[in-house]
Amino acid sequence: MFVITLEEGRESFLCREDETVLAAMLRQRRGHLRCGCFGGGCGICVMRIISGAYHQIKPMSRAHVSEAEQAESVVLLCCVEPRGDIVLARVNDLKKNGRYNDGIQQNA
Ligand code: FES
């Protein structure tokens, strides 16, 4: 069991190694509580992993996470399982705070 921390508000929840971060977030009613396809296609669960190891279990739609974004640890939470404690940040919050300004398009 790993600890997932949301940078904004320092809210934390637990996630098993065999469940996606989105599934754990929803199960414990943490974070943004928005969900869509659960299959890497709609982009609603996009966040950036600030620190921590993870494993991608499904392909992520390139319409929502480009190769450049993925290289910056932008992920769809329905597609990743933790391999250690993780800290997450909303992509839009990073842009707003000037910490993520490398030309990546904003997902509205
Ligand atoms: S819920 Fe649709 S991409 Fe994650």
- Res. 101 pLDDT band, cuts 50 70 90: very low
State how far the alpha carbon of 22 is from the alpha carbons of 35, 39, 96, 102, in Å.
8, 11, 23, 26
Q: How much is the average pLDDT of 66-80? A: 94
- Residues 8, 39: Cα–Cα separation, whole Å: 25
Residue 49 CB contacts under 8 Å (≥ 6 apart), including other chains: 73, 75, 80, 86, 87, 88
pLDDT tens-digit readout, 18-59: 999 999 999 998 876 677 899 999 999 999 999 999 999 999
- Res. 91 pLDDT band, cuts 50 70 90: confident
Choose the CATH number for 2-96 among 3.40.50.1980, 3.10.20.30, 3.30.540.10, 3.40.50.2300: 3.10.20.30
To test the pocket of ligand 1, the residue of 19, 33, 37 to mutate (highest count of ligand atoms within 8 Å of its CB) is 37
Can you give the C-alpha Rg of the chain in angstroms?
13
Residue bearing the CA closest to ligand 1, atom 3 = 40
- Residues 104, 14: Cα–Cα separation, whole Å: 29
Output the CA 41–ligand 1 centroid distance in Å.
6
